[in-house]
Amino acid sequence: MSNRIKPLIVTLAAAALIFSLAIAGIDVYVRKSVEDMIVSPEEAKAFGADCAIVLGCKVSGNVPSPMLNDRLAEGVELYRSGAAPKLLMSGDHGRKNYNEVGAMKEFATSAGVPSEDVFMDHAGFSTYETMYRARDVFEAERVIIVTQKYHLYRSLYIAKKLGLTAVGVASDPRAYRGQIKREIREILARCKDFFGCIFMPEPTYLGEAIPVSGNGDLTAG
Protein backbone atom coordinates (compact mmCIF):
# COMPACT_ATOMS: atom_id res chain seq x y z
CA MET A 1 0.00 0.00 0.00
CA SER A 2 1.47 3.35 -1.04
CA ASN A 3 2.13 6.17 1.37
CA ARG A 4 -0.51 8.24 -0.45
CA ILE A 5 -3.31 5.71 -0.05
CA LYS A 6 -2.84 5.12 3.69
CA PRO A 7 -3.69 8.71 4.76
CA LEU A 8 -6.72 8.67 2.45
CA ILE A 9 -8.03 5.47 4.02
CA VAL A 10 -7.49 6.87 7.51
CA THR A 11 -9.29 10.09 6.56
CA LEU A 12 -12.24 8.22 5.06
CA ALA A 13 -12.48 5.93 8.08
CA ALA A 14 -12.43 8.91 10.43
CA ALA A 15 -15.11 10.68 8.39
CA ALA A 16 -17.28 7.56 8.42
CA LEU A 17 -16.89 7.25 12.19
CA ILE A 18 -17.80 10.91 12.76
CA PHE A 19 -20.82 10.57 10.46
CA SER A 20 -22.01 7.44 12.26
CA LEU A 21 -21.59 9.07 15.67
CA ALA A 22 -23.52 12.13 14.50
CA ILE A 23 -26.42 9.98 13.29
CA ALA A 24 -26.44 8.00 16.54
CA GLY A 25 -26.33 11.19 18.60
CA ILE A 26 -29.24 12.79 16.76
CA ASP A 27 -31.25 9.58 17.02
CA VAL A 28 -30.77 9.39 20.79
CA TYR A 29 -31.52 13.11 21.20
CA VAL A 30 -34.79 12.90 19.24
CA ARG A 31 -36.01 9.87 21.17
CA LYS A 32 -35.01 11.14 24.61
CA SER A 33 -36.51 14.59 24.05
CA VAL A 34 -40.04 13.23 23.56
CA GLU A 35 -40.17 9.88 25.38
CA ASP A 36 -42.23 11.36 28.23
CA MET A 37 -44.86 12.45 25.66
CA ILE A 38 -45.83 8.84 24.94
CA VAL A 39 -48.86 8.01 27.09
CA SER A 40 -51.38 5.24 27.62
CA PRO A 41 -54.90 5.45 26.15
CA GLU A 42 -56.19 6.05 29.68
CA GLU A 43 -53.80 8.97 30.22
CA ALA A 44 -54.81 10.41 26.86
CA LYS A 45 -58.39 10.85 28.10
CA ALA A 46 -57.29 13.65 30.42
CA PHE A 47 -55.27 15.47 27.74
CA GLY A 48 -58.11 17.49 26.25
CA ALA A 49 -57.20 16.91 22.61
CA ASP A 50 -58.73 18.68 19.64
CA CYS A 51 -58.33 15.48 17.65
CA ALA A 52 -56.37 12.29 17.23
CA ILE A 53 -54.10 12.23 14.19
CA VAL A 54 -53.92 8.73 12.70
CA LEU A 55 -50.85 8.50 10.48
CA GLY A 56 -51.27 6.78 7.15
CA CYS A 57 -49.60 3.62 5.93
CA LYS A 58 -49.88 1.25 2.98
CA VAL A 59 -53.26 0.12 1.67
CA SER A 60 -54.08 -2.51 -0.92
CA GLY A 61 -57.06 -1.16 -2.80
CA ASN A 62 -59.29 -0.17 0.07
CA VAL A 63 -57.82 -2.63 2.58
CA PRO A 64 -55.46 -1.24 5.26
CA SER A 65 -52.15 -3.00 5.84
CA PRO A 66 -51.75 -4.67 9.25
CA MET A 67 -49.84 -1.67 10.64
CA LEU A 68 -52.47 0.78 9.42
CA ASN A 69 -55.29 -1.44 10.64
CA ASP A 70 -53.85 -1.31 14.16
CA ARG A 71 -53.40 2.47 14.03
CA LEU A 72 -57.00 2.89 12.91
CA ALA A 73 -58.34 0.54 15.59
CA GLU A 74 -56.50 2.55 18.24
CA GLY A 75 -57.79 5.83 16.82
CA VAL A 76 -61.37 4.57 16.89
CA GLU A 77 -60.97 3.45 20.51
CA LEU A 78 -59.66 6.90 21.45
CA TYR A 79 -62.75 8.41 19.83
CA ARG A 80 -65.09 6.01 21.61
CA SER A 81 -63.45 6.68 24.98
CA GLY A 82 -63.89 10.44 24.58
CA ALA A 83 -60.15 11.10 24.43
CA ALA A 84 -60.47 12.46 20.89
CA PRO A 85 -63.60 14.29 19.72
CA LYS A 86 -62.44 14.16 16.10
CA LEU A 87 -60.19 11.90 14.01
CA LEU A 88 -57.77 13.36 11.46
CA MET A 89 -56.77 10.71 8.93
CA SER A 90 -53.57 11.79 7.23
CA GLY A 91 -51.98 9.89 4.38
CA ASP A 92 -51.07 9.68 0.73
CA HIS A 93 -53.73 10.44 -1.86
CA GLY A 94 -51.38 11.86 -4.44
CA ARG A 95 -52.53 9.43 -7.14
CA LYS A 96 -56.05 8.79 -8.41
CA ASN A 97 -55.77 5.02 -7.96
CA TYR A 98 -54.14 5.11 -4.51
CA ASN A 99 -56.12 6.54 -1.61
CA GLU A 100 -54.92 5.87 1.92
CA VAL A 101 -57.23 8.39 3.58
CA GLY A 102 -60.35 7.09 1.84
CA ALA A 103 -59.67 3.62 3.20
CA MET A 104 -58.92 5.11 6.61
CA LYS A 105 -62.19 7.03 6.77
CA GLU A 106 -64.16 3.99 5.61
CA PHE A 107 -62.61 1.95 8.43
CA ALA A 108 -63.67 4.54 11.01
CA THR A 109 -67.20 5.07 9.73
CA SER A 110 -67.73 1.31 9.41
CA ALA A 111 -66.75 1.09 13.08
CA GLY A 112 -69.49 3.57 13.99
CA VAL A 113 -67.66 6.91 14.01
CA PRO A 114 -69.93 9.60 12.48
CA SER A 115 -68.66 10.78 9.11
CA GLU A 116 -68.66 14.42 10.19
CA ASP A 117 -66.17 13.60 12.93
CA VAL A 118 -63.63 12.08 10.53
CA PHE A 119 -61.37 14.49 8.65
CA MET A 120 -59.17 13.48 5.71
CA ASP A 121 -55.80 15.04 4.99
CA HIS A 122 -55.24 13.97 1.39
CA ALA A 123 -51.76 15.54 1.26
CA GLY A 124 -50.13 13.94 4.28
CA PHE A 125 -47.24 12.74 2.14
CA SER A 126 -44.79 12.63 5.04
CA THR A 127 -44.85 12.82 8.81
CA TYR A 128 -43.51 16.36 8.64
CA GLU A 129 -46.17 17.47 6.17
CA THR A 130 -48.89 15.86 8.26
CA MET A 131 -47.94 17.84 11.36
CA TYR A 132 -47.46 21.08 9.44
CA ARG A 133 -50.89 20.75 7.81
CA ALA A 134 -52.53 19.68 11.07
CA ARG A 135 -51.41 23.03 12.48
CA ASP A 136 -51.95 25.34 9.49
CA VAL A 137 -54.78 23.75 7.50
CA PHE A 138 -56.78 21.96 10.18
CA GLU A 139 -55.95 24.49 12.89
CA ALA A 140 -55.34 21.84 15.54
CA GLU A 141 -53.48 22.85 18.69
CA ARG A 142 -53.69 19.86 21.05
CA VAL A 143 -53.33 16.50 19.33
CA ILE A 144 -52.98 12.81 20.10
CA ILE A 145 -50.74 11.12 17.56
CA VAL A 146 -51.47 7.47 16.80
CA THR A 147 -48.89 5.21 15.19
CA GLN A 148 -46.48 2.42 16.13
CA LYS A 149 -44.07 3.31 18.92
CA TYR A 150 -40.92 3.33 16.78
CA HIS A 151 -42.58 6.02 14.62
CA LEU A 152 -43.98 8.02 17.52
CA TYR A 153 -40.63 9.51 18.55
CA ARG A 154 -40.14 11.31 15.25
CA SER A 155 -43.80 12.26 14.96
CA LEU A 156 -43.84 13.82 18.42
CA TYR A 157 -40.52 15.59 17.85
CA ILE A 158 -41.83 17.23 14.67
CA ALA A 159 -45.11 18.18 16.34
CA LYS A 160 -43.25 19.74 19.25
CA LYS A 161 -40.94 21.73 16.98
CA LEU A 162 -43.92 23.01 14.98
CA GLY A 163 -45.58 24.30 18.14
CA LEU A 164 -48.27 21.65 18.55
CA THR A 165 -49.07 20.43 22.04
CA ALA A 166 -48.99 16.70 21.54
CA VAL A 167 -48.97 13.29 23.15
CA GLY A 168 -48.63 9.95 21.43
CA VAL A 169 -50.43 6.66 21.87
CA ALA A 170 -48.64 3.61 20.50
CA SER A 171 -50.49 1.00 18.46
CA ASP A 172 -48.35 -2.11 18.75
CA PRO A 173 -50.63 -5.08 19.50
CA ARG A 174 -48.49 -7.47 17.43
CA ALA A 175 -45.18 -7.96 15.65
CA TYR A 176 -44.83 -6.83 12.03
CA ARG A 177 -42.86 -8.43 9.23
CA GLY A 178 -39.82 -6.39 8.16
CA GLN A 179 -39.63 -4.39 11.37
CA ILE A 180 -35.82 -4.47 11.59
CA LYS A 181 -35.57 -2.71 8.22
CA ARG A 182 -38.11 -0.14 9.36
CA GLU A 183 -36.17 0.55 12.54
CA ILE A 184 -33.00 1.20 10.52
CA ARG A 185 -34.78 3.47 8.05
CA GLU A 186 -36.41 5.32 10.93
CA ILE A 187 -33.03 6.24 12.41
CA LEU A 188 -32.15 7.95 9.14
CA ALA A 189 -35.60 9.55 8.95
CA ARG A 190 -35.17 11.01 12.43
CA CYS A 191 -31.93 12.62 11.31
CA LYS A 192 -33.59 14.00 8.16
CA ASP A 193 -36.48 15.51 10.08
CA PHE A 194 -34.16 16.82 12.79
CA PHE A 195 -32.66 19.10 10.16
CA GLY A 196 -36.04 19.67 8.53
CA CYS A 197 -37.31 21.09 11.80
CA ILE A 198 -34.45 23.59 11.76
CA PHE A 199 -35.21 24.94 8.28
CA MET A 200 -39.00 24.29 8.36
CA PRO A 201 -39.86 24.11 4.65
CA GLU A 202 -43.50 24.47 3.65
CA PRO A 203 -45.31 21.25 2.74
CA THR A 204 -46.17 20.31 -0.83
CA TYR A 205 -49.69 21.72 -0.43
CA LEU A 206 -51.36 24.02 2.06
CA GLY A 207 -54.66 25.58 0.96
CA GLU A 208 -57.64 27.05 2.76
CA ALA A 209 -58.20 26.31 6.43
CA ILE A 210 -60.59 23.51 7.35
CA PRO A 211 -60.76 23.68 11.16
CA VAL A 212 -60.86 20.29 12.81
CA SER A 213 -63.49 21.72 15.14
CA GLY A 214 -65.94 21.76 12.22
CA ASN A 215 -67.39 19.16 9.86
CA GLY A 216 -65.15 16.44 8.49
CA ASP A 217 -67.39 15.91 5.46
CA LEU A 218 -65.88 19.11 4.03
CA THR A 219 -62.69 17.12 3.38
CA ALA A 220 -64.38 14.56 1.11
CA GLY A 221 -63.13 14.27 -2.46
Instruction: Say how far apart CA 134 and CA 128 lie, in whole Å.
Output: 10
Query: How does strand 63-64 pair with strand 59-60?
Result: antiparallel
pTM given for the model:
0.95
Confidence of residue 200 (pLDDT cuts 50, 70, 90): very high
Distance separating alpha carbons of residues 204 and 195, to the nearest angstrom: 17
> How high is the mean pLDDT of the chain?
96
- In this structure, are residues 168 and 150 in contact, taking their beta carbons and an 8 Å threshold? no
**CA separation for the pair 184, 178 (Å, rounded):** 10
Do the strands 87-90 and 63-64 form a parallel or antiparallel pair, or are they unpaired? unpaired
φ, ψ of residue 53 in degrees (nearest 5): -95, 115
pLDDT over threshold 90, residue 10: no
pLDDT of 35-50, one tens digit each? 999 999 999 999 999 9
For the stretch 70-125, pLDDT in tens is 999 999 999 999 999 999 999 999 898 999 999 999 999 999 999 999 999 999 99
Number of C-beta neighbours around residue 36 at 10 A: 9
| DSSP classification of residue 92 | B
* Domains in the chain with CATH codes: 5-219 (3.40.50.620)
Tell me the H-state helices in 82-216: 100-110, 127-136, 149-161, 179-199
Q: Mean per-residue pLDDT for 148-154?
A: 98
Q: Is 120 exposed, middle or buried (0-12, 13-18, 19+ CB in 10 A)?
A: buried
